[in-house]
């Protein structure tokens, strides 16, 4: 084969490769491909244990979700009280998903109407985003008025950051004020993950060392439920808020394996104050 024929053949092969790549790219923007992509994604629902959100959501949606989950862990909120993949809290044995319509298709976005059967039929819409050379779910409740999932996640993150700033004022030692409430000492420390109970003791009696603390900007919750088998060993529940004097007031429940009796009733704590002093 002479040089001229070799070069012509090489150029032809390159052209075929480029054209084939263009065909594949164009095909991924066809309605038929999008229908198949969504059908394939939803076929895995209920049949796999891996994280569908990380696998099939757009990067920006998943990043917002992870930030909101961190906020919820700090504030005690619940991010989702249902499974947005199955459109419900439970999963029926005959669950199914059908792609009804693909529309508003652009190079980077699309909307898809779905009919999901989960005990009953529910029509829902998802928004898609083209990235990483494929289509990913960018929202489970797209809306023209801006009240979509991503907007809700951003609002939750903003409110969580505001609550985090308010929580900084609660760091320090809190002690009991009234004679009739438990002699409770609570030492709170602010971390990048929110408030942490460094110390939670009923003075001169016993302590709790596995406490979980949440603060949503208004309500402070401190709790521990420690079981040994079916038997409750330790329990403390504090539901508190700041009153007009800057005291933490609210309800308190205490049970402890070393205590002769528990306590359930009101409590008032004051920063840096302890009713009795040694």
Q: Is the pLDDT of residue 163 over 50?
A: yes
Cα 233 off chain centre by = 30
- Domain check: are 124 and 253 in the same one? no
Position 205 scores a pLDDT of 87
The predicted pLDDT at position 100 comes to 96
How does residue 226 score in pLDDT terms, banded at 50, 70 and 90? very high
Of 145, 165, 185, the position where a domain reaches its end is 165
Predicted structure pTM score: 0.77
Among residues of the chain, what percentage have pLDDT more than 70? 88
Asked if residue 278 belongs to a domain, the reply is no
According to the per-residue pLDDT averaged within each range, which of 45-49, 93-97, 214-218, 259-263 is highest?
Answer: 214-218
Does one domain contain both 70 and 152? yes
In a domain, residue 175? The reply is yes
137 and 248 fall within a common domain: no
Residue 122 domain boundaries = 3-165
* Domain boundary residue, one of 165, 198, 227: 165
Check whether residue 103 and residue 207 sit in a common domain: no
Q: 109 with 128, same domain?
A: yes
Q: What angle do CA 224, 213, 234 make, to 5 degrees?
A: 10
Instruction: Select the more confidently predicted residue: 190 or 46.
Output: 190
Q: Check which CATH number belongs to the domain holding 264 and give it.
A: 2.40.128
For the ranges 77-81, 129-133, 181-185, 204-208, the maximum mean pLDDT occurs at: 129-133
What average pLDDT score do residues 19-29 get? 58
Same domain membership, residue 176 and residue 159:
no
In a domain, 85, yes or no: yes
Residues 141 and 83 in one domain: yes
Is residue 277 in a domain?
Answer: no
Are the CB atoms for 238 and 223 separated by under 8 Å?
A: yes
| Predicted confidence (pLDDT) per residue in 60-107, tens digit | 999 999 999 999 999 988 888 778 888 887 878 888 899 999 999 999
End-of-domain residue from the set 165, 193, 225: 165
Across 204-223, average pLDDT: 94
215 and 111 both lie in a single domain: no
Average pLDDT over every residue of 206-227: 95
């Amino acid at each position: 084969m002479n040089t001229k024929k070799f070069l012509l053949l090489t150029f032809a092969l390159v052209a075929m490769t480029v054209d084939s790549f263009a065909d594949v790219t164009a095909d991924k923007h066809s309605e038929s491909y999008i229908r198949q992509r969504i059908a394939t994604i939803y076929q895995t629902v209920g049949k796999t244990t891996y994280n569908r959100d990380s696998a099939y959501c757009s990067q920006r949606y998943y990043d917002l979700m992870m930030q909101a989950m961190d906020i919820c862990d700090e504030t005690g909120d619940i991010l989702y009280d249902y499974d947005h993949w199955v459109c419900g809290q439970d999963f029926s044995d005959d669950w199914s998903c059908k792609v009804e319509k693909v529309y508003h298709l652009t190079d980077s976005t699309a909307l898809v109407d779905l009919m999901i059967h989960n005990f009953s039929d529910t029509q829902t819409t998802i928004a898609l985003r083209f990235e990483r050379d494929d289509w990913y779910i960018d929202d489970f409740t797209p809306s023209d008025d801006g009240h979509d999932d991503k907007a809700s996640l951003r609002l939750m993150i903003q409110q969580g950051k505001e609550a985090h700033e308010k929580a900084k004022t609660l760091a320090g030692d809190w002690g009991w004020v009234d004679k009739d409430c438990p002699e409770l000492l609570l030492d709170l420390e602010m971390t990048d993950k929110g408030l942490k109970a460094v110390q939670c003791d009923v003075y001169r009696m016993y302590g709790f060392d596995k406490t979980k603390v949440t603060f949503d900007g208004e309500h402070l919750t401190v709790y521990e439920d420690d079981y040994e088998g079916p038997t409750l060993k330790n329990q403390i529940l504090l539901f508190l808020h700041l009153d007009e004097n800057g005291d933490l007031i609210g309800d308190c429940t205490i049970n402890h394996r070393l205590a002769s009796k528990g306590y359930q009733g009101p409590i008032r704590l004051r920063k840096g104050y302890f009713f009795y002093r040694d």
